[in-house]
Amino acid sequence: MPETERTINEIEADIERTQHRLASNLEALKDRVSPSTVATNTAQKAKDLVTEKVNWAKRELIDEDGNLNLKKLAVVSGAIAGIAGFICVIRALRKRK
C-alpha cells in the first residue's frame, strides 16, 4: 500500500473532524444572525452613535468658560432644520408615487 493512501479509520476521523468544525461554524453563524443578537448589536451601535454625537456637540457648542456658544448653536440648529426639511420633502415625494 503506497504511503499516500489513507486508511478507512483516517478518512472517517477526517470526516468527523470536518463535521464538528462545520457544526461549530454553523452555530457561530446562527448566533451572529439571530434576531436578538442583531437587535442587541444595532441598539448598541445606535447608543454609541448618540453618545459620540452628544460628546461632539458638547465639545463644539460649549466654550472654554462652560457657556453655550450661541453662534455655533445657530449654525448647527440651521443644519438640523435643513436636514429635517429635506427628509420631509423626500418622504412627501415618495408618498405621491
Q: Which of 53, 56, 33 is nearest to 45 (CA)?
A: 53
Do 57 and 76 meet the contact criterion of CB atoms below 8 Å apart? yes
The pLDDT, as a whole number, for residue 57 is 80
- Tens digit of each residue's pLDDT, the chain (97 residues): 456 789 999 999 999 999 999 999 999 999 889 998 999 999 999 999 999 988 988 888 888 888 888 888 898 899 999 999 999 999 999 888 6
Contact 62, 68 (CB under 8 A): yes
C-alpha cell at 73: 448653536
pLDDT for the residue 58 = 83
Contact, 77 vs 70, CB < 8 A?
no
Find the largest Cα–Cα distance for the chain: 87
